[in-house]
Structure 1
């Protein structure tokens, strides 16, 4: 088999390997329903906040569109209203996209102590793992928020141009959704694997490097999780399983060797 053929095969197997960790996470929480309920708490809090924010955005999207288009005041009523309605839809759509790509980061920031415990319990169930560093809770949450903001910056760097390209005929309906799922999936894996990687003394830069070095499992796990999270309200129900699956993924594929 050629080098290209072997690489492609390894990539496909790696993606499939990443997918299986999501289902293993689902299996783990199904065997531990109390841990699943425990992990729902921060996700429900985040859901309420996002629904409220999107409701406000939907209510005032028209006013925002009018505010940024004062040049259309002199247009005919039909042309002015058409422009502002379209712009309002674009603003709300962009807000919805941002909500989708930030939901995990915000939920993890809100539920830092919840998901740290859940992730530790997954590892304890498999024979134990490294314990979380003994740092004050406020410092841990601050670091989580800082890392999430940095990750969000990278996500927006890719997502906003892809959102604009989505309006291009043919490309916007074929290539862009695939690229969008890959980008969102990778960074979703970055967020979800942060807790188990931090327990292994892997700071943000080292986490990024590890996931880039083995992109296939990260993409397989992240893309499936992203697609599941697109289903309304399923992201809330699936968050504990995603945290459990990410812990298993790190434990089996991204744990540094001794001395590495």
Structure 2
């Protein structure tokens, strides 16, 4: 497990080397991320401006409480809303970036896989197909993330646990979901479905976590996603290539 986790971290580092070895890859990967960043920053500004109103609306049940009690709950709920939104934002940022920049990231994936030996009879994803596949995957992944976010949201009110265990669990869950997103294009190029992708990645969950959790945490740094996403896309391509090659070898008895 630890060895696989370390191998996953190495894949992310390799993704950085692959992207930054070519200025063109850096520019190609950063352009869709810049567009998405503008959209996400706008959304974040709106959330921060109206967070008091949002927290007040969510804590309507505390209207009859004392002033101090109501304020404490409002602050706690406001912080939790920001934390949950932040976690979802990384997934949404990646998903929107991949949908907007489908051809850009397919270019990176093709170049990376060409260096790894290429993909025989690879399918061209294209912008529209990549958008539809990405949208479907995003809806499913964000839905799963919300299912986990709701209980984690309430666990956040538990003293000590809410400030220690909950953030770690949130990073693991959202990181793993991010890993599923980042391997979408290599799987789609081989005609693999979302279900097949999820099933294969689950066989090396520790490796996926080692790759995706650091990428997720780096994306929490403001604007870092502009360079992290292209690198993580390259690393995800290497991860997918490795797992799919192993699966094909096992199927052929090699």
Matched residue, 2:35: 45
Equivalent in 179, 191, 195 of residue 185 of structure 2: 195
**Is the deviation greater in 91-100 or in 199-208?**
91-100
2:96 corresponds to which residue? 106
The match for 2:159 is 169
Structure 2 vs 1, CA of residues 63 and 194 (structure 1 numbering), >3 Å: closer, same or farther? same
In the TM superposition, what are the counterparts of 1:34-113 in structure 2 within 5 Å?
34-68=24-58, 83-113=73-103
Preserved CA contact (<8 Å) 1:36 1:240: yes
Question: What is the TM-score when the length of structure 2 is the normalising length?
Answer: 0.87
In the alignment, is the contact (CA less than 8 A) between 1:122 and 1:244 conserved in 2? yes
Q: Give a deviation string over 1:106-150, Cα, whole Å, max 9, x none.
A: 211121111111111111233322465246632331221111111
Aligned to 1:16: 6
SS in 2 for 1:257: helix
Number of equivalences: 250
Aligned to 1:257, which of 243, 248, 254?
248
Deviations 1:140-197 (A, max 9, x none): 3122111111111112211332233233122223322322222112111100001111
* CA distance 1:111–1:80, shift in 2 (3 Å): same
* Deviation by residue 1:210-248 (Cα, 9 ceiling, x = unmatched): 011221211111112112222222121111110111111
Q: Is 1:178 aligned to 2:168, yes or no?
A: yes
SS in 1 for 2:50: helix
Partner Cα distance (1:160, 1:75) in 2: 24
1:234 is the counterpart of 2:224: yes
CA distance in 1 between partners of 2:53 and 2:195 (Å): 41
What is the aligned partner in structure 1 of residue 209 from structure 2? 219
CA positional deviation for 1:26:
0.7
Distance in 1 (alpha carbons) for counterparts of 2:31 and 2:185: 18
Which is further off, 213-222 or 91-100?
A: 91-100
Is contact 1:122-1:247 (8 Å) kept?
Answer: yes
Q: Is the 8 A contact 2:84 2:149 kept in 1?
A: no
- Match of 1:55, SS state, is helix
CA deviations 1:63-122 (Å, max 9, x no partner) are 334445556667776666555455444433432232133221121112111111111111
Higher-Rg member (1/2): 1
Q: Does 1:204 align with 2:189?
A: no
Structure 1: segments with no counterpart, 5+ residues: 1-10
Matched residues in 2 for 1:147 and 1:180: separation? 19
